[in-house]
Amino acid sequence: MPTQDEEIARHLREALASGELAGIEGFGKPLPEDAGWNATPEALRMPFKILKNAGFVPPEVELFHERAALTAALAACGSEAERTATRQKLSDLEQKIALRLEALRVNGTL
């Protein structure tokens, strides 16, 4: 009985021979590089990729998205009071991110 990998390979060979694959966008070209792949610590790349493919966003990634949103909000602030409040939120969030990443390092995940 063929393994799952062998079955997949057989289906791919059949699709290639029939020309079915040739019509797919990006056929014969390298896959696009995933945004943030190189910025992600090596120990977390594969687990994060698996979670991403499953539709799950790790808490650390959510924190990074929140940081990006606060950075954009800071650039768009109209008043100094609003800018100060946004800077404080950003500072608090960056501290939270740093503590979370340090906890990952201590636990041996990073």
Tell me the C-alpha distance between 39 and 41, whole Å.
6
Tell me the C-alpha distance between 48 and 34, whole Å.
12
Over its C-alpha atoms, the chain yields an Rg (Å, rounded) of 22
Tell me the C-alpha distance between 60 and 52, whole Å.
12
Tell me the C-alpha distance between 47 and 61, whole Å.
12
Higher per-residue pLDDT: 10 or 34: 10
What is the DSSP secondary-structure string of 50-94? HHHHTT---HHHHHHHHHHHHHHHHHH--SHHHHHHHHHHHHHHH
Kindly report the average pLDDT of the chain as a whole number: 88
Instruction: Find out whether 66 and 93 touch, Cβ atoms under 8 Å.
Output: yes
pLDDT-based confidence at 41, cuts 50/70/90? Answer: confident
Domain ranges of the chain: 1-33, 40-110
Higher per-residue pLDDT: 4 or 58: 4
Q: Report the pLDDT value the prediction gives residue 109, as an integer from 0 to 100.
A: 65
The per-residue pLDDT for range 43-92, each reduced to its tens digit, is 888 888 898 889 988 788 889 999 999 999 999 998 999 999 999 999 99
pLDDT of 24 > 80? The answer is yes
Kindly tell me the sign of the dihedral angle through the C-alpha atoms of 79, 83, 85, 86: positive
Higher per-residue pLDDT: 48 or 108: 48
